[in-house]
C-alpha cells in the first residue's frame, strides 16, 4: 500500500498569499481543487516550493488544515518536515501522528553540511521518531550537501519506514545507482521536472513536481505514458512542457511557478521576502510560451 501511494505524480504545492502577505485561503482552495481535477496522484504540502521556511507554526497548521479540508481524503497528502536541527525535526515528525497525513517529505540537513555518517544518523533518528512513511529528499543545489547513493541505499535497506527518495541531484548516474541497488519496495522519485522522463526510462517511479501546480493534466500524461512505456506519447507532453519548465526556474522557485499561476488565474503571485517576483521580461516570455504551446488546456 505504501509503495503504491507515492507512485506517479505528486505536486510540491505553492502557498498562495494575499497582497498583505497573509495566507490566501481561497487561492489555496482553488489550487487544491485544480490539482485534484487535473489528475495528480498525491499532494505535497509545506515543502520548499510552499515557502515553509517563512511560515510560522500557526500558518503551517492553517495551510495543512485547508488542504485536508478540501481534499476530503481523495488523495494521499505528504507533509514537508525537515531542517538542520535533528532533535527539532524529530519532535515535529512525532507531533504529526494525528494530523491525517500519509507521508513525510524530509530534506537532507542544510547549511551544517554534515558528513555522510551525519546524514545517516539524522535520518536514523527521524525514522525512530515516527511511524509515518518517510520520503528522503536530496537536493544539493539547496542544501550544499549531496546525499550519496551509498547513504541512500543504506537507509533504504536499514529502515522500512523510509519508503522513498525524492532525488534532485540532477545526476542521472547517481539516480541509476540508487535504482539498481534499492529494495524492491523502495521508490525513486524525480525532484527535477525536466529530468523526469529520462528518470522514468531508467526505472524511477514518478515525480514530485513544481510545474504541475500549473499544468497537472499535461504532466499527468508525461507520467502515465512514461511509466506505461509509451515513450512516444510521453515525449510529446514532455516537450510541450519543457520550455515553460525552464522558464519557471530561470529566476528561482517558487517565483516562477507563482507567476504562471497568476497568468492562469489560479492565484496571485505574491511572495514573502527575501523572494521577489520574476522580471517583466521573464513574465512576458512565460505568457508567450503558454500561448504558443497551448498550455492553458491539454493537447488533444
Q: Which three cell numbers stand for residue 165?
A: 527518495
Q: How far is CA 244 from CA 8, 15, 17, 38, 165, in A?
A: 21, 20, 23, 18, 25
Whether 270 is catalytic is no
| DSSP track, 188-248 | EEE--GGGHHHHHHHT--EEEESGGGT-HHHHHHHHHHHHTT-HHHHHHHHHHHHHHHHHH
Nearest to 132 by CA among 23, 245, 239, 2: 2
- Find out whether 14 and 267 touch, Cβ atoms under 8 Å: yes
Cα 285 to the chain's mean position, in Å?
Answer: 24
Which is the catalytic residue, given 60, 137, 182, 258?
137
Catalytic residue flag (residue 166): yes
Q: Tell me which residue of 167, 168, 151 sits closest to 115, measured CA to CA.
A: 151
What are the start-end ranges of the H helices in the chain? 2-5, 25-37, 57-71, 86-94, 116-127, 140-143, 149-158, 172-181, 196-202, 216-227, 231-248, 255-263, 280-292
User: Which three cell numbers mark 271?
Assistant: 511572495
- The catalytic residue among 42, 60, 166, 182 is 166
User: Is the separation of the CB atoms in 260 and 290 below 8 Å?
Assistant: yes
Catalytic residue set: 137, 166
Amino acid at each position: 500500500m505504501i509503495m503504491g501511494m507515492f507512485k506517479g505524480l505528486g505536486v510540491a504545492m505553492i502557498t498562495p498569499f494575499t497582497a498583505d502577505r497573509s495566507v490566501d485561503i481561497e487561492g489555496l482552495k482553488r489550487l487544491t481543487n485544480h490539482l485534484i481535477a487535473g489528475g495528480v496522484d498525491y499532494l505535497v504540502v509545506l515543502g520548499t516550493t510552499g515557502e515553509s521556511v517563512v511560515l510560522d507554526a500557526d500558518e503551517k497548521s492553517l495551510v495543512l488544515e485547508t488542504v485536508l479540508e478540501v481534499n476530503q481524503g481523495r488523495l494521499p497528502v505528504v507533509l514537508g518536515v525537515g531542517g538542520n536541527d535533528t532533535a527539532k525535526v524529530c519532535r515535529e515528525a512525532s507531533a504529526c501522528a494525528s494530523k491525517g497525513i500519509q507521508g513525510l517529505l524530509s530534506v537532507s540537513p542544510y547549511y551544517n553540511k554534515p558528513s555522510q555518517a551525519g546524514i545517516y544518523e539524522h535520518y536514523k533518528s527521524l525514522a525512530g521518531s515516527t511511524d509515518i512513511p518517510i520520503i528522503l529528499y536530496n537536493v544539493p543545489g539547496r542544501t550544499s550537501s549531496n546525499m550519496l547513493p551509498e547513504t541512500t541505499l543504506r537507509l533504504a535497506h536499514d529502515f522500512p519506514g523510509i519508503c522513498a527518495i525524492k532525488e534532485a541531484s540532477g545526476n542521472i548516474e547517481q539516480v541509476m545507482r540508487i535504482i539498481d541497488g534499492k529494495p524492491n519496495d523502495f521508490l525513486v522519485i524525480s525532484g527535477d521536472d525536466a529530468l523526469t522522463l529520462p528518470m522514468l526510462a531508467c526505472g524511477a517511479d514518478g515525480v514530485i513536481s513544481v510545474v504541475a501546480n500549473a499544468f497537472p493534466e499535461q504532466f499527468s500524461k508525461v507520467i502515465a505514458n512514461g511509466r506505461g512505456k509509451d515513450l512516444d506519447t510521453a515525449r510529446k507532453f514532455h516537450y510541450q512542457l519543457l520550455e515553460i519548465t525552464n522558464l519557471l526556474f530561470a529566476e528561482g522557485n517558487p517565483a516562477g511557478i507563482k507567476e504562471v499561476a497568476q497568468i492562469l488565474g489560479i492565484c496571485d503571485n505574491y511572495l514573502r521576502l527575501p523572494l521577489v517576483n520574476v522580471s517583466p521580461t521573464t513574465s512576458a516570455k512565460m505568457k508567450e510560451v503558454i500561448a504558443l504551446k497551448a498550455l492553458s488546456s491539454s493537447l488533444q
